[in-house]
């Protein structure tokens, strides 16, 4: 479906790019895989002095691994439930936590939206929601990465199960909301949680605490790229918001659309964005 409310990627102009916020699933990846060209693009951003911050619905366990093994400044995970960064990071210059000669000691700082007691209380309520979903929506599955989640409940509708229909996905969202929980649809999961946080709110908190800046001070110098409705708040919040082309299937049901759309889907669209901005 043509998108008359967005611009071509070639129209994107950023005078001084310093921060690159990116979704992961179906934005960086293709068919669940992080391919060599997309991973190389992350390194090109890093070596250009641009701070990369993945913003994902994926769990705490993944975020710990990503922070320690990818060339990133921090990771915002579980749809804004927390961010992980290195506590000795320098917010003013490119963090040199990747040494060519000697490995520097690294300590991870974990900033959560809610206390540990609140997380435990919410988990009990999420367990009840999980039971109801599995009783009422045949074919829904528990996300395979649920065992390493701290803040939310991820219901699989496509990754490891036969793809559910839109009406079935909407029913999953309805169950979450009937219990007073938030629910967001990604390209593979419905993520639900208790609390007033989301990706955009945690981005602002990350800027305030880690970068020691208001988001308004970095917006002109930043890009966000995503692929699905759970990125809507960021499409609206960022002046330079980009979506990879697979966003097209969701556009008609979205209120806040990206400002720019890439020619290609998934990781290829991510690489196109990096190429355009760096070249």
Task: Kindly report, residue by residue over 190-227, the tens digit of the pLDDT.
Answer: 999 999 999 999 999 999 999 999 999 999 999 999 99
Closest-CA residue to 26 (of 259, 186, 168): 186
> Nearest Cα to 153, choosing from 187, 130, 133?
130
- List, in order of start, the domains of the chain with CATH numbers: 7-113+197-278 (3.40.50.1000), 117-193 (3.90.1070)
| CA 125, 130, 133, 136 torsion-angle sign | negative
pLDDT tens by residue, 121-134: 999 999 999 999 99
Question: Are residues 66 and 85 in contact, defined by beta-carbon separation less than 8 angstroms?
Answer: no
Query: What's the token pair of residue 141?
Result: 């599955």
- The structure's pTM equals 0.91
| Contact present, 176 and 129 (Cβ < 8 Å) | yes
H or E element, residue 261: strand 260-261
8-state DSSP, 22: E
Q: Distances from the Cα of 233 to the Cαs of 125, 158, 174, 229, 237, in angstroms? A: 25, 23, 20, 9, 6
Residue with tokens 């309520």: 125
Half-sphere exposure of 276 (CA within 13 A, CB side): 19
User: What angle do the packed helices 116-136 and 166-178 form, to 10 degrees?
Assistant: 140
Per-residue pLDDT tens digits of the chain, which is 279 residues long: 344 467 999 999 999 999 999 999 999 999 999 999 999 999 999 999 999 999 999 999 999 999 999 999 999 999 999 999 998 555 454 445 555 555 566 799 999 999 999 999 999 999 999 999 999 999 999 999 999 999 999 999 999 999 999 999 999 999 999 999 999 999 899 999 999 999 999 999 999 999 999 999 999 999 999 999 989 999 999 999 999 999 999 999 899 999 999 999 999 999 999 999 998
In order, the DSSP letters of 108-132 are: EEEEESS-HHHHHHHHHHHHHHHHH
DSSP bridge pairs for 141: 156
The kind and range of the H/E element at 102 are: none
């Amino acid at each position: 479906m043509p998108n008359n409310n967005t611009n071509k990627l070639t129209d994107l102009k950023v005078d001084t790019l310093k921060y690159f916020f990116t979704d992961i699933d179906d934005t960086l990846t293709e068919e669940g895989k992080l391919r060599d060209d997309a991973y190389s693009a992350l390194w090109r951003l890093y070596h250009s002095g641009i701070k990369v911050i993945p913003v994902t619905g994926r769990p705490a366990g993944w975020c710990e691994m990503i922070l320690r093994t990818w060339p990133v400044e921090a990771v915002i995970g579980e749809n804004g439930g927390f961010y992980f960064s290195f506590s000795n990071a320098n917010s003013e210059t490119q963090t040199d936590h990747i040494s060519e000669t000697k490995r520097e000691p690294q300590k991870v700082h974990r900033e959560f939206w809610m206390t540990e007691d609140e997380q435990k209380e919410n988990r009990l309520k999420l367990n009840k929601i999980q039971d109801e979903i599995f009783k009422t929506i045949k074919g829904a599955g528990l996300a395979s990465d649920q065992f390493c989640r701290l803040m939310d409940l991820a219901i699989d509708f496509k990754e490891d199960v036969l793809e559910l229909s839109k009406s079935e996905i909407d029913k999953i969202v309805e169950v979450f909301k009937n219990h007073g929980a938030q629910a967001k649809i990604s390209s593979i999961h419905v993520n639900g949680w208790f609390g007033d946080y989301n990706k955009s709110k945690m981005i602002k908190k990350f800027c305030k605490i880690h970068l020691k800046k208001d988001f308004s001070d970095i917006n002109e110098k930043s890009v966000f790229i995503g692929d699905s409705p759970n990125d809507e708040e960021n499409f609206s919040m960022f002046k330079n918001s980009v979506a990879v082309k697979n966003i097209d299937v969701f556009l008609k049901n979205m209120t806040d659309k990206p400002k720019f759309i890439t020619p290609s889907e998934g990781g290829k669209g991510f690489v196109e964005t990096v190429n355009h901005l760096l070249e």
